[in-house]
Structure 1
């Protein structure tokens, strides 16, 4: 918080910045006649930083004051030349206005770019997406421009023309690249002030730039449209295989195919989401600028709005349709994946049931074998125990004990067998009790 007023009020620290933001890109004030060149150069973050140094180098060549730091909009004037540099999200724009050079019959000779050093232009970072010349002629006191003469300035290309601002100007362009590698526009001022003309020219330049930026998504859309048809067919085949065939399906193989397809779709979405969103945003800007032109028709020619509506809008719709297609395919793959996971889970449950049934049979067999072994164990232990008792009876008999040796051994046999059986059962019950206690402890946790 800061106190910067005579009333002693606490002013928010961002207030001045918020005020300045609304005035960071003021409209141009352009006289007529004038020659203008415009460049929109796509740059990444590093190139934008180096471009500021490159721009400062140009200013030093012209002996202009170099700004201390970079900003959203910089406008420098020296002599009859005025340069405006603006930073945008994906590109940096240069608007060069030549106001005082001698104007010859060819309106493209003394353009803005011809006033800049060629080596400086060649060393500019980034790649140019839009290069445009605008020739502004003063027609306030003259007659209507001759159409044949205007067409000769556009190398015989088909023209798009209109009377924007309710007829106060006349605009001609071809929306094509000419022999010098740049687009061209001619503006005849028939009743506009310098401020009005500046605003209109800025709208025209933005329409040209934003329509090219919007079209950048079209090659991506065309590329992925071809791929999506193949992926749709693959997914339909997998779905039909799961729903119609009665044969056994290799779930692991099918699931691997679905995973590869899902990975491809997500990679495609990552590559296209930003571009398609930018296409829609730039298209909205173009439509807004077109509505602000307030065009009247020139007989026999498409207006700028009609041209854009017929040529640009279908391309934008193609991008939107491709983005929706990717989203739809992603959702369908998710549903098929859910179905496959359900099939795999059901198969695992069926295997678990078979496994439990097999384990149950094995446990019954093991129990029967255990009872058999217990019986054999009782017989074996009893046999060896009776043998030991026989030794004792023999020793007692030989030492004169008054016993019937055969009767004593006969009596010892059932007693020993019963005792061994009883002891074995006690041990078996003890182990069962310990196992039950361990199960109860496990369930309690």
Structure 2
């Protein structure tokens, strides 16, 4: 069978396509554990610097540094487990501290506590998401547990749920705390290490994608006043066209071109961000469905909180994107109407010009006929003069005839010949012009 497969033409990406589904495996987390997740926006130029910084961490921890930068890399250094994942526009770092015992202090001992001093501060890129997840065993007294949780979350309003058929309880605030990090707490009741890892992975993805999806909201708010202004300008121009007022077509076309240029500038600046927001929002909704949450009495679930807060923000971005597209189409239609108006005006001018040229052509034709008549007289006059000289020579040579009579009779003959000759030449030129 191997020999048969080797004889087939295999796609060069076949192995890579198989490995793609296994490139980012779920974590396997014991309880208790402390996790810190950081997502950093990165440019292509910063990726190489981040990888060198990642290699420095291995050296500082006394391990061999990785040689090749891959999309997902995980390593374990004693009680510290670290993972680096590269995404389309950001890099994520997950630090898992397995040294904390039952008596550890939540959110004082975190996933980044074992890191070498000063390493994290030198990380390049722009931090978007940074939060701690503390995993503990659930207590048997929910009331005592809730009082402790409020203290650990610094008195902020809690959002909580019981995912996966009540096998755990998850608490969070979706706010920044005094240390500048967000916080989540997972209280394990009856979950295996692999289930804890999948649940923690879902929480990290929900929070990271939530923040990434909101990056477009400030841009949408910044763009809206300009859209309102352009919308008003376009409405005035369209109404003027509808009222058929006398307009300066050149000025109106310049205004429309300016509006179109501004719209294209906004689209070029925002299309990727708005499209990314829609994609991240869909990922958030998918991850929320996978939590299969049950409500904790008196608290919003994570899904309810996201639906109430995140969805309107995403819809605002979608609305601004739709307005940009709608304005672009309306400007195109107004420009088409304006161009049609200009073309009709040009056609009217051309018609007037053609009419004027036709009148001039008729005048020139009449003048030509007049000139032709005069030219017939002039040519006939010279021909008769030549004929008179010929008659005089013949009479002097001895021919006996009446010179005056012959000359008089030749005048109408000469004029008739000249007239028909001129007309013949005239018709030949007309036919030649018609053929061309």
The alignment's TM-score, normalised by the length of structure 2, stands at 0.92
Shift of 1:364: 0.9
Deviates further, 30-39 or 97-106 = 97-106
Q: How does 1:23-422 map to 2 (within 5 A)?
A: 23-101=22-100, 106-139=105-138, 145-245=144-244, 247-393=245-391, 402-422=400-420
- Retained in 1: the 8 A contact 2:171–2:185? yes
CA distance in 2, matches of 1:4, 1:132: 49
SS of aligned partner of 2:92: strand
Q: Post-superposition shift, 1:42?
A: 0.9
| Distance in 1 of aligned mates of 2:3 and 2:135 | 45
Identify which range, 149-158 or 235-244, moves more after superposition: 149-158
Q: 1:99 Cα deviation (Å)?
A: 0.7
Query: Secondary structure of the residue that 2:178 maps to in structure 1?
Result: coil
User: Distance in 2 between the 1:10 and 1:417 partners?
Assistant: 98
Shift of 1:398: 6.3
SS in 1 for 2:246: coil
- Is the contact made by 1:80 and 1:101 (CA closer than 8 Å) also made in structure 2? no
Classify the secondary structure of the residue corresponding to 1:283.
helix
Aligned-partner Cα distance in 1 for 2:223–2:6:
61
- TM-aligned CA deviation for residue 305 of structure 1: 1.2
CA offsets 1:275-315 (integer angstroms, 9 cap, x no match)? 11111111111111112222222222222111111100000
CA distance in 1, matches of 2:430, 2:271: 65
Query: Residues 166 and 61 from structure 1, CA distance in 2 versus in 1: closer, same or farther, beyond 3 angstroms?
Result: same
- In the alignment, structure 1 segments of 5+ residues that lack a partner are 439-445
Change (3 A) 1:249 1:8: closer
Counterpart-to-counterpart distance in 2, 1:287 and 1:140: 30
Per-residue CA deviations over 1:398-443 (Å, capped at 9, x if unaligned) read 67764545444433433332232232122222222322332xxxxx
- CA distance in 1 between counterparts of 2:274 and 2:241 reads 34
- Shift of residue 342, structure 1, vs aligned partner: 2.3
In the TM superposition, what is the alpha-carbon distance from 1:48 to its structure 2 partner? 2.0
Relative to structure 1, the CA distance from residue 42 to residue 103 in structure 2 (aligned partners, 3 Å threshold; closer, same or farther) is: farther
Q: CA deviation at 1:362?
A: 1.2
Equivalent residue number for residue 16 of structure 2: 17
Mapped partners of 1:308, 1:106: distance in 2: 29
Deviates more, 1:248-257 or 1:180-189: 248-257
Q: How far has the Cα of 1:391 moved from its partner?
A: 4.3
CA distance in 2 between partners of 1:6 and 1:430 (Å)? 85
* Deviation by residue 1:361-420 (Cα, 9 ceiling, x = unmatched): 111111100000011111222223333444455566667764545444433433332232
Q: 1:326-371: CA deviations, max 9, x gaps?
A: 1222222222222223222322222222222222111111110000
Question: Which has the higher mean CA deviation after the structures are superposed, 103-112 or 118-127?
Answer: 103-112
User: Which has the larger displacement, 5-14 or 404-413?
Assistant: 5-14
- 1:425 corresponding residue in structure 2: 423
Kept after mapping to 1: 8 A contact 2:61/2:116: no
Deviations 1:63-100 (A, max 9, x none): 22333322221110011111011111111111101111
Q: What TM-score, normalized to structure 1? A: 0.90
Is this contact kept in 2: 1:211–1:286, CA < 8 A? yes
**Structure 2 unpaired stretches of 5+:** none
- Relative distance call for 1:49 and 1:293 in structure 2 (3 A) is same
8 Å contact 1:103–1:110 — kept in the other structure? no
Distance 1:237 1:87, change over 3 A: same
Q: From the superposition, tell whether residues 108 and 395 of structure 1 become closer, same or farther in structure 2 (CA, over 3 Å).
A: same
**Quick one: distance in 1 between partners of 2:402 and 2:343?**
74
Give the drift of 1:30. 1.1
Q: Is the 8 A contact 2:71 2:85 kept in 1?
A: yes
How many angstroms apart in 1 are the aligned matches of 2:4 and 2:411?
122
CA distance in 1 between counterparts of 2:238 and 2:183 reads: 54
How far apart are residue 19 of structure 1 and its match?
3.0
